[in-house]
């Protein structure tokens, strides 16, 4: 009846997962209880769960990403303290079967459910606003994407208190991940969680490629699109190209495990090396799916806080597309040490370092954006400067790893661990925090507290270096990654320093949480009345904060790069806004529960497959499919926003802008 | 004021102390790692690592300085920084910013090309001494070293003559691992059904550690082995001792050895089936078994033997 599932799936004998599970369950029940007691369900259902508004979906993606970042960070604390405690003969407090789950969960959660949702959240929130349009190409599909991602995150977290998670690393290399060597449900949790959320990501990619190609406001030609939109477009192109590889590869591993096929087994003609090739043919481009939008965020910030257009815009577009293409030709550098031969290693070594040309150009362009500027060192700019320093050094160690003979010494070492955290934390995570600070007022109508923001930056910056600089050194001392205990005593001091670093990082995380709480408390004082808190340049700052659900009462007509900067300059010169446009009713897509419904049954399907509950799996699959079929037969998919509502919203926006203009001329800030 | 000075002095002294400690630690850390090579392969790998670092430092240090100078010079509160609100293109600067990375990468590309061919792990090492053959099998979770010419085998212990190249043929009997002795240089994968080649040499007698550099399951952390490079005479004596004591490694003993076990102490086999490595690498002997839990009906959770079997 229940497949493999019985009472022994609950980790009664393991106090750490048991207590954590109980706390998590209590918190979730508490939140659900609060929502019920306050009667918030109808509001949540109407305004958030069934929403197809790209801004709200973006915010939900970011919320999911932030919660998962904290979850993954808890794993990181356990890993660093375990390695600091388990030195000499000691075994630390995590036995291998638990420690191995923790580093696997850390990587899986950080990449698939932390970084990806945040990056996609920014894409969702910003791309339609920056393109001057009202939504993405397929709004309901977008809601399906989000809920499928959330469904994957849910399955990973269920593994905490039912069964176990994978003990095979964040990429489950066969033959270790095959049924013969990993008979438990851990790898199955991984497979179904990543498969279900992977479908969501692929749909996002399709959605954003279509949006950028087909849904732009009048005059928004490709070479007028803001840099963030360009990078989001490049990233979506990579998603469409490589996520099918991930799906196919994991499907093959699933067939091996469930029906005894031999794609990657070490017997009967299976080829585990093929898994390495396929998974990295997805895995390396994945890094650029994350980092290209991060580059886009930094481009917007450098330009805005220097008070200047981005230096070498066309060059930046070229460098982005260059990286987009070359990123798919470098995967083999993840296993130079497999003995592919010097010709193959040379090709992939040079291809990998060639990517540094694209990134190098970007770094110089950001530097020259500051030239002749008026650089304001607000919190987003601090993160950006921290990024320049950190990312350049990450780039250096990255090129070292691309040199095969050097890689022969540090492959899979702590040096590698330090390197990829250097680029992913220093590149992607710093960008996400900079972006949260930068666009938070746009999303919620008030700024984040500056002092706590600065504290969070400095703690994260120093915490990062104190954590990872020692890992470079132990890597050079020969320490390999994923060790549950450490035998060489000379490594110990560096592991202690690294554990101190993670404590500093934890203070940074706490500062971010405090910043959010303090900002919500002081929201009236931090209110952004004009909708343009940073003296912005691209179209999203033309809307009020938060923007109305239809974004623009009248679609803008764009006449150049940085359209909003042009509008603002004209208003300042003539000391008045453009004349009031003629308002018309707007067609907007209706809300739909189909995303939530499908994802609910997808979660049930995944869970049933993990535990071999076949009848439930079939039932859930049929139900999920029925949801799609029912949606396909809908009669009404848009509703009309009456002209009065549009006019009223836009007049309020114009009034705020006029007041701001008057304030500026009173202060004598105008020419 | 005096108190302030005192505390500043104390702070300065504490900082100096900290720097000295860190420097001492970094120096100490050089010994025993990949930057303290004991043979030609490790030395060449390390030289390339350091060369590539220096080449890139020559570019990135000025770049970082330029970034921070630009930020400081054009900060909004500095009246001396000229404001050029429309300046966003310069063909000359563009040419330079594309050229710098391209030239650097062309240079590094040369290092990659030459280095990859020169340090191909499969290539034999030039030497007047004929190489010592060692066959390596990675098992869950220990290393088996077979000396086919000497007719002996060891577990988790590798003894090699100093000054003689060693030719390793490496395979795995279960999952992936990586054979790595940091002070000897290049590492390479041990893969089931495949044989990797690697030539290494220790120039001097020394004791080193070796490890698996690819995660392979619960007992992975203890997949470390001791490497001793010894003078020729001592090596001959060691082989003689090994032949004198210990069990033979026949198919039955191998089947026992291939089962999962953790934290295995080094030992030797007095003789070895000469076809064993070939039979493992070609999978005539089927791959080693995975976990054999005492209580297989445990829902979903794998049971570790915890190394006490």
Q: Which of A342, A384, A466 to mutate to test the interface with B (most CBs of B within 10 A)?
A: A342
Give the nearest partner residue to B87 out of A273, A372, A484, using CB atoms.
A372
Q: Which of A493, A419, A504, A603 is nearest to A76 (CA)?
A: A504
At A661, is the pLDDT very low, low, confident or very high (cuts 50, 70, 90)? confident
pLDDT digits (tens, 9 = 90+) for B62-96: 999 999 999 999 998 888 888 888 888 899 999 99
Q: How much is the pLDDT for A163?
A: 84
Q: How far are the Cα atoms of A416, A616, B177 from residue A257, in angstroms, in the given order?
A: 30, 19, 21
Average pLDDT over residues A488-503: 91
Average pLDDT over residues B144-171: 94
Average pLDDT over residues B124-134: 91
For the cut 90, the answer to whether the pLDDT of residue A507 exceeds it is yes
Residues A172 and A190: beta-carbon distance below 8 Å: yes
Q: How close is the nearest chain B Cα to the Cα of A530, in Å?
A: 22
Residue A30 inside a domain? The answer is no
Q: How much is the pLDDT for B11?
A: 66
**What letter does residue A645 receive in the DSSP assignment?**
H
Residue A627 inside a domain? The answer is no
Does the distance separating the beta carbons of A175 and B175 come in below 8 Å?
yes
pLDDT digits (tens, 9 = 90+) for B130-152: 999 999 999 999 999 999 999 99
Region(s) of chain B under CATH 1.10.287.90: 31-118
Chain A residues whose beta carbon lies within 8 Å of the beta carbon of residue B66? 367
* HSE toward the beta carbon, residue B178, CA cutoff 13 A: 26
SS (H, E, C) B118-144: HCCCCCCCCCCCCCEEEEEEEECCEEE
Does the distance separating the beta carbons of A312 and B97 come in below 8 Å?
yes
Q: How much is the pLDDT for B1?
A: 40
Residue in chain A closest to B291 (alpha carbons) equals A181
H and E: helices and strands count for chain B: 6, 13
pLDDT digits (tens, 9 = 90+) for A294-336: 999 999 999 999 999 999 999 999 999 999 999 999 999 999 9
Does the distance separating the beta carbons of A5 and B299 come in below 8 Å?
yes
Q: How close is the nearest chain B Cα to the Cα of A49, in Å?
A: 33
Q: In which domain, by residue range, is A127 found?
A: 40-592+634-666
Rounded Cα–Cα distance for residues A503 and A498 (Å): 9
Catalytic residues of A: 61, 71, 75, 79, 103, 124, 135, 142, 145, 149, 201, 204, 211, 284, 286, 288, 299, 315, 359, 362, 419-421
For the cut 60, the answer to whether the pLDDT of residue A284 exceeds it is yes
Q: What is the helix, strand, coil percentage profile of chain A, to 5?
A: 70, 0, 25
Give the nearest partner residue to A375 out of B75, B140, B286, using CB atoms.
B75
Give the max Cα distance, chain B: 86
Residue A403 φ/ψ region, left for φ over 0, alpha for ψ in the -120 to 50 degree band, beta for the rest: beta
At B8, is the pLDDT very low, low, confident or very high (cuts 50, 70, 90)? low
Chain A residues whose beta carbon lies within 8 Å of the beta carbon of residue B113? 346, 349-350
Q: How much is the pLDDT for A619?
A: 95
Our count of domains for chain A comes to 1
Sheet hosting strand B177-181, strand order edge to edge:
B157-161, B224-230, B206-212, B177-181, B185-190
Report the CATH number that the domain containing residue A77 is assigned in CATH.
1.20.210.10
Q: Does domain B31-118 have CATH number 1.10.287.90?
A: yes
For the cut 90, the answer to whether the pLDDT of residue A530 exceeds it is no
For the cut 90, the answer to whether the pLDDT of residue A97 exceeds it is no
Q: How much is the pLDDT for A633?
A: 86
For A51-167, list the strands marked E by DSSP: none
| Contacts (Cβ under 8 Å, ≥6 apart) of A110 | A68, A69, A72, A424
Q: What DSSP letter does each residue of A516-555 carry, written as one string?
A: HHHHHHTTTTTB-SSS-TT---SGGGGS-SSPPTTS-SS-
For the cut 70, the answer to whether the pLDDT of residue B295 exceeds it is no
Q: How much is the pLDDT for B308?
A: 38
For the cut 90, the answer to whether the pLDDT of residue A609 exceeds it is yes
At B7, is the pLDDT very low, low, confident or very high (cuts 50, 70, 90)? low
Average model confidence (pLDDT) across chain A: 91
Fold entry, domain B132-281? Immunoglobulin-like (2.60.40)
Q: How much is the pLDDT for B301?
A: 52
pLDDT digits (tens, 9 = 90+) for B190-202: 999 999 999 999 9
For the cut 70, the answer to whether the pLDDT of residue B25 exceeds it is no
For the cut 60, the answer to whether the pLDDT of residue B160 exceeds it is yes
Q: How far are the Cα atoms of A160, A184, A495, B139 from residue A165, in angstroms, in the given order?
A: 7, 9, 26, 24
Q: Which of A459, A455, A464, A454 is nearest to A423 (CA)?
A: A464
Does the distance separating the beta carbons of B97 and A364 come in below 8 Å?
yes
Chain B residues whose beta carbon lies within 8 Å of the beta carbon of residue A176? 175-176, 215-217
Does the distance separating the beta carbons of B70 and A357 come in below 8 Å?
no
Residue A4 inside a domain? The answer is no
Q: Which of A54, A118, A68 is nearest to A434 (CA)?
A: A118
Q: How close is the nearest chain B Cα to the Cα of A118, in Å?
A: 27
Does the distance separating the beta carbons of A164 and B300 come in below 8 Å?
yes
At B4, is the pLDDT very low, low, confident or very high (cuts 50, 70, 90)? low
**What letter does residue B91 receive in the DSSP assignment?**
H
Residues of B (236-265) whose Cβ lies below 8 Å from A: none
At B305, is the pLDDT very low, low, confident or very high (cuts 50, 70, 90)? very low
Region(s) of chain B under CATH 2.60.40.420: 132-281
Q: How much is the pLDDT for A668?
A: 61
Q: How close is the nearest chain A Cα to the Cα of B178, in Å?
A: 8
Helix axes A492-521, A450-476, angle to 10 degrees: 160
Does the distance separating the beta carbons of B221 and A477 come in below 8 Å?
no
Chain B residues whose beta carbon lies within 8 Å of the beta carbon of residue A339? 121-122, 188-189, 196-197
Q: How close is the nearest chain A Cα to the Cα of B2, in Å?
A: 31
**Interface ipTM:** 0.89
Q: Is A577 helix (H, G, I), strand (E, B) or coil?
A: coil
Residues of B (169-208) whose Cβ lies below 8 Å from A: 172, 174-176, 178, 180, 182-183, 185-189, 191-194, 196-197
pLDDT digits (tens, 9 = 90+) for B264-285: 889 999 999 999 999 999 999 9
Residues A61 and A121: beta-carbon distance below 8 Å: yes
pLDDT digits (tens, 9 = 90+) for A431-469: 999 999 999 999 999 999 999 999 999 999 999 999 999
* Encoded tokens for A81: 């303290």
For the cut 90, the answer to whether the pLDDT of residue B154 exceeds it is yes
Q: Which of A155-159, A557-561, B135-139, B151-155 has the lowest mean pLDDT?
A: A557-561
Q: How much is the pLDDT for B298?
A: 46
**Cα B98 versus chain centre, distance:** 35
Cβ neighbours around A612 below 10 Å, total: 16
Q: Which of A291, A150, A285, A287 is nearest to A232 (CA)?
A: A291
């Amino acid at each position: 009846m229940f497949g493999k599932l019985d009472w022994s799936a609950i980790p009664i004998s393991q106090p750490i997962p048991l207590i954590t599970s109980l706390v998590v369950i209590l918190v979730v029940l508490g939140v659900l209880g609060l929502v019920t007691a306050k009667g918030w369900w109808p509001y949540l259902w109407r305004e958030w769960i069934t929403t197809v508004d790209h801004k709200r979906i973006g915010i939900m993606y970011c919320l999911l990403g932030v919660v998962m970042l904290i979850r993954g960070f808890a794993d990181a604390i356990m890993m660093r303290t375990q390695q600091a405690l388990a030195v000499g003969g000691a075994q630390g407090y995590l036995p291998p079967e638990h420690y191995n789950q923790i580093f696997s969960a850390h990587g899986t959660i950080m990449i698939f459910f932390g970084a990806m949702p945040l990056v996609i959240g920014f894409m969702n929130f910003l791309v339609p606003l920056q393109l001057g349009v009202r939504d993405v190409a397929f709004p309901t599909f977008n809601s399906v994407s989000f809920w499928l991602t959330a469904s994957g995150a849910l399955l990973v977290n269920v593994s905490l208190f039912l069964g176990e998670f994978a003990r095979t690393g964040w990429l489950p290399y066969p033959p270790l991940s095959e049924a013969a060597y990993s008979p438990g449900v851990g790898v199955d949790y991984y497979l179904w969680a990543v498969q279900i959320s992977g479908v969501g990501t692929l749909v996002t990619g399709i959605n954003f490629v279509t949006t950028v190609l087909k849904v732009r406001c009048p005059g928004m030609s490709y070479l007028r699109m803001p840099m963030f939109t360009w990078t989001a477009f490049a990233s979506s192109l990579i998603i469409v190209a490589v996520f099918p590889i991930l799906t196919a590869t994991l499907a093959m591993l699933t067939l091996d495990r469930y029906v005894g096929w031999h794609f990657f087994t070490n017997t009967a003609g299976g080829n585990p090396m093929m898994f390495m090739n396929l998974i990295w043919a997805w895995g390396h481009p994945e890094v650029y799916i994350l980092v290209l939008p991060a580059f886009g965020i930094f481009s917007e910030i450098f330009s805005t806080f220097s008070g200047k257009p981005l230096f070498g815009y066309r060059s930046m577009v070229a460098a982005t597309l260059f990286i987009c293409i070359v990123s798919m030709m470098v995967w083999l550098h993840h296993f130079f040490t497999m003995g592919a031969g010097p010709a193959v290693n040379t090709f992939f070594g040079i291809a990998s370092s060639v990517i540094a040309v694209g990134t190098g150009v970007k770094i110089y362009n950001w530097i020259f954006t500051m030239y002749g500027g008026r650089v304001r060192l607000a919190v987003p700019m601090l993160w950006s400067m921290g990024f320049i320093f950190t990312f350049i050094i990450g780039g250096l160690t990255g090129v070292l790893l691309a040199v095969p003979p050097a890689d022969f010494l540090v492959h899979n070492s702590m040096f590698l661990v330090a390197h990829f955290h250097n680029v992913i934390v220093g590149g992607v995570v710093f960008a996400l925090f900079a972006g949260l600070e930068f666009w938070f007022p746009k999303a919620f109508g008030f700024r984040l507290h500056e002092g706590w923001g600065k504290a969070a930056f400095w703690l994260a910056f120093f915490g990062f270096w104190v954590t990872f600089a020692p890992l470079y050194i132990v890597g050079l001392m020969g320490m390999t990654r994923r060790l549950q205990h450490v035998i060489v005593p000379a490594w110990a001091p560096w592991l202690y320093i690294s554990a101190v670093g993670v404590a500093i990082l934890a203070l940074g995380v706490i500062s971010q949480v405090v910043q959010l709480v303090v900002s919500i408390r002081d929201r009236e004082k931090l209110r952004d009345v004009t909708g343009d808190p940073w003296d912005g340049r691209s179209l999203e700052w033309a809307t009020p904060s938060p923007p109305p659900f239809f974004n623009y009462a009248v679609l803008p007509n764009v006449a150049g790069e940085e359209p909003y900067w042009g509008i603002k300059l004209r208003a300042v010169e003539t000391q008045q806004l453009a004349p009031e446009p003629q308002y018309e009713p707007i067609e907007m897509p209706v809300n739909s529960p189909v995303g939530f419904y499908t994802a609910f049954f997808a979660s049930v399907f995944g869970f049933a497959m993990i535990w071999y509950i076949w009848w439930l799996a079939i039932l859930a699959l049929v139900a999920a499919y029925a949801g799609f079929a029912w949606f396909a037969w809908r009669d009404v998919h848009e509703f009309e926003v009456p002209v009065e509502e549009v006019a009223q919203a836009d007049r309020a926006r114009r009034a705020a802008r006029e007041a701001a203009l008057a304030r500026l001329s009173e202060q004598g800030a105008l020419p | 004021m005096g108190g302030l000075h005192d505390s500043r002095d104390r702070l300065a002294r504490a900082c100096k102390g900290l720097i000295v400690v860190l420097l001492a630690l970094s120096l100490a850390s050089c010994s025993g790692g990949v930057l303290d090579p004991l043979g030609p392969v490790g030395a060449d790998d390390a030289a390339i690592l350091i060369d590539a670092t220096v080449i890139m430092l020559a570019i990135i240090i000025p770049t970082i300085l330029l970034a921070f100078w630009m930020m400081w010079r054009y900060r909004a509160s500095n009246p001396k920084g000229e404001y050029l609100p429309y300046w966003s293109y310069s063909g000359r600067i563009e040419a330079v910013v594309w050229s710098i990375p391209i030239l650097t990468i062309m240079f590094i590309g040369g290092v990659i090309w030459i280095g990859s061919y020169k340090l191909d792990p499969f290539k034999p090492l030039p030497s007047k001494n004929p190489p010592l053959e060692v066959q390596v099998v990675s098992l869950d979770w220990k290393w088996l070293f077979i000396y086919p010419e000497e007719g002996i085998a060891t577990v988790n212990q590798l003894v090699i003559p100093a000054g003689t190249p060693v030719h390793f043929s490496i395979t795995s009997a279960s999952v992936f691992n990586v054979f790595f002795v940091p002070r000897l240089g290049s590492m390479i994968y041990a893969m089931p059904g495949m044989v990797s080649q690697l030539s290494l040499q220790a120039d001097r007698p020394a004791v080193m550690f070796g490890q698996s550099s690819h995660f392979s399951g619960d007992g992975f952390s203890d997949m470390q082995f001791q490497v001793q490079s010894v003078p020729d005479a001592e090596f001959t004596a060691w082989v003689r001792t090994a032949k004198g004591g210990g069990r033979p490694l026949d198919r039955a003993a191998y089947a026992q050895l291939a089962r999962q076990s953790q934290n295995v102490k080094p030992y030797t086999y007095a003789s070895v089936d000469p076809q064993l490595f070939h039979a493992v690498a070609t999978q005539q002997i089927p791959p080693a078994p995975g976990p054999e839990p005492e209580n297989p009906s445990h829902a979903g959770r794998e049971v570790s033997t915890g190394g006490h079997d």
